[in-house]
Chain A
């Protein structure tokens, strides 16, 4: 398993790992570019759930909830909040699975987006302190990267993100990670990395633009 080594500026215990491990065992996903065919287990389970298939929904929960829980924990910082959010996410997935369509991306991408947006809403409503006030169970919050031997490789297009992120400056990379993984606002990122707000905004904007350009090369 390749790990990405970057000259990364650690900014606190919660986001200290530079590793990007591009894999998941949540759902098998494979795409054959040549034949335009693809297999997306999460998407199939989501669409079966939309038809009221409770067995598929249970399987979807079993397969994806550990990954979604990790995402929620990282943003919400406390187990009880992350547990409540995970439960809300799955009740809402059951009710709204019909709004997923394969042209919205892979099933796992959709589930992670639903979870992240839920966590971001909760985080902002609770007006988290700029530097997370509640780090009581930091020890339980996973670090990046797992060494799970059962992991399934994701296709090469995902690996390209790894390569493109290498081209960002350490500050840009850090700003993206703090925003995406921890749900921080521009202001919170500015405090966290001790940089002016305007600078953070332009770093992040340029980083996202550069990332897109690199991914589309």
Chain B
């Protein structure tokens, strides 16, 4: 197939989109489009051109069981998503059964009575702050409850009278960073986001850590140097 011939690509894209291309040719052209920008652009252009035909169909409400099946299938996929998480400690947490977890938390509380107890729950997104080899913190975000589990791995030392504050960066250029809370220097802390921060979490794709006076920024905006930024990435999916 002479893929550099734009006229041919154009004709094949039209026949692919309108649907008359079939069988092996159809599968092959779909594969080609994954790597050839000319083909994928031609397909997208035809999809857009013919879209009004599909929009012209009167909508039909699907039965409620369709959505229930969709959510059930997505929920079923979650445990395997956690199991493939490359962060080793999380992998262990996910693998520990309920009994073992209870026993461990009991031992943990005996040994360190002041340590916060951390519920193991779902992880929608993660952020690794610092270098991948020697991260300062690992953050796990539960988008639904708006909570963050922050585990200090190699958190930097700070002077007495200083705190490290986590910020959610705005998804849009006209937004402002919102404080998510203070990061622990050791151990694991669970941070509950404010209502505003929870709302921002839905669109935020970046977090930052700044050095602030003890207890956090007095102004509600970062005042000290930004020490780290990290991308908020979706927890690995199983497909």
Evaluate contact between A23 and B55: CB separation under 8 angstroms.
yes
Evaluate contact between B59 and A180: CB separation under 8 angstroms.
no
Chain B residue nearest to A25 (CB atoms) is B59
Evaluate contact between A71 and B57: CB separation under 8 angstroms.
yes
Closest-CB distance, B197 to chain A (whole angstroms): 15
A contact residues, total (Cβ < 8 Å): 78
A21 and B59 CA atoms in complex are apart in Å by: 12
A51 and B212 CA atoms in complex are apart in Å by: 29
A142 is an interface residue with CB less than 8 A from chain B: yes
Q: List which B29-83 residues lie within 8 A (CB) of chain A.
A: 30, 40, 43-45, 47-63, 65-67, 69-70, 73-74, 77
Chain A residue nearest to B124 (CB atoms) is A52
B192 is an interface residue with CB less than 8 A from chain A: no
Q: Which residues of chain A are within 8 angstroms of B56 by Cβ–Cβ distance?
A: 19-22, 144-145
Q: Interface residues of B: mostly helix, strand, loop or mixed?
A: helix
Closest-CB distance, A190 to chain B (whole angstroms): 11
A168 is an interface residue with CB less than 8 A from chain B: no
Q: List which A48-95 residues lie within 8 A (CB) of chain B.
A: 48, 50-56, 58, 61, 65-67, 69-71, 73-74, 82-83, 86-87, 90-91, 94-95
B17 is an interface residue with CB less than 8 A from chain A: yes
**Which range contains the number of B residues in contact with the other chain?**
35 or more
A95 and B235 CA atoms in complex are apart in Å by: 11
Q: Which residues of chain A are within 8 angstroms of B23 by Cβ–Cβ distance?
A: 124
Closest-CB distance, A142 to chain B (whole angstroms): 4
Tell me the total A-B contact number using a CB cutoff of 8 A.
184
Q: Which residues of chain B are within 8 angstroms of A67 by Cβ–Cβ distance?
A: 54-55, 57, 59
Interface pick from B7-15, B93-101, B102-110: B7-15
Q: 29 A-B pairs, CB-CB below 8 angstroms?
A: A22-B52, A26-B59, A51-B232, A54-B144, A55-B202, A58-B67, A61-B67, A65-B67, A70-B59, A83-B63, A87-B66, A90-B66, A90-B70, A105-B44, A105-B47, A105-B51, A109-B47, A112-B54, A143-B58, A146-B57, A154-B55, A180-B53, A180-B54, A204-B20, A205-B15, A209-B11, A209-B14, A212-B10, A212-B49
Binding site for B on A (CB under 8 A): 19-26, 48, 50-56, 58, 61, 65-67, 69-71, 73-74, 82-83, 86-87, 90-91, 94-96, 98, 103-106, 108-110, 112-113, 116-117, 120, 124, 140, 142-146, 148, 154, 158-159, 161-162, 176-177, 179-181, 183-186, 189, 204-205, 208-209, 211-212, 215
